[in-house]
Chains A and B, each alone.
Chain A
Amino acid sequence: DAKTTQPPSMDCAEGRAANLPCNHSTISGNEYVYWYRQIHSQGPQYIIHGLKNNETNEMASLIITEDRKSSTLILPHATLRDTAVYYCIVRSPGGGSNYKLTFGKGTLLTVNP
């Protein structure tokens, strides 16, 4: 699986959009970009994933650049409960030996009142 690079920490004001970047310059054609987050002392929570098109769900939007070498997770209206470590993960589609998630250290997003 391709390696990802994320800033170690970011701050965001409550109610504003939080934009979390991720670099994955060695991503392969069939690899998806996943985002998970982990609130202190809980298990990671799936947020969103995408291949090459931008994706949106009830939690967030995922913007993937045309060359797929980087992406941005957008939380449109951050709340204090969004304070967490956010992990960007690149992996091949599920099934067979493509089973594991390779976590880095992620980005600690702190939402301030």
Chain B
Amino acid sequence: ETGVTQSPTHLIKTRGQQVTLRCSSQSGHNTVSWYQQALGQGPQFIFQYYREEENGRGNFPPRFSGLQFPNYSSELNVNALELDDSALYLCASSTLNDYGYTFGSGTRLTVV
């Protein structure tokens, strides 16, 4: 059983650019969630995807968007990057009625 894998592990972007982060779910999991973790803070929920549709969203602006593919992998897209978008981005997968989430190791995004 493979876990959740995220790519890339580190990324440096310039303010105003766009970025795409990728996540492969754990085998058998059909739900993917994304979290943003700023330095020294707990992870903050961005949104969740189930059956290729967004079915929940946290307090993040529309320039944060996502996709889920038929194989349950997912992408997080962020447009018009701002310095405050610098953070660790975490992907978590589960089944919809599961009690535990499996997290990936994250992508460290630095916006300069």
Contact = CB atoms under 8 A, between A and B. Distances in A.
Contacts of A103: 35, 42-44
Contact of B97 (A43, A46, A87, A95): A95
Interface residues of B, number: 30
B44 A97 contact: no
Chain A facing B: main interface SS: loop
B55 A99 contact: yes
Interface in B67-105: 88, 90, 92, 94, 96-105
B4 A101 contact: no
30 contacts: A32-B99, A34-B99, A41-B88, A42-B105, A43-B4, A43-B90, A43-B103, A43-B105, A44-B43, A44-B101, A44-B103, A46-B101, A49-B99, A49-B100, A93-B99, A94-B94, A94-B97, A94-B99, A95-B96, A99-B31, A99-B55, A100-B45, A100-B48, A101-B33, A101-B35, A101-B92, A102-B45, A103-B43, A104-B42, A105-B40
Interface of B: 4, 31, 33, 35, 40-45, 48, 55-56, 58, 88, 90, 92, 94, 96-106, 108
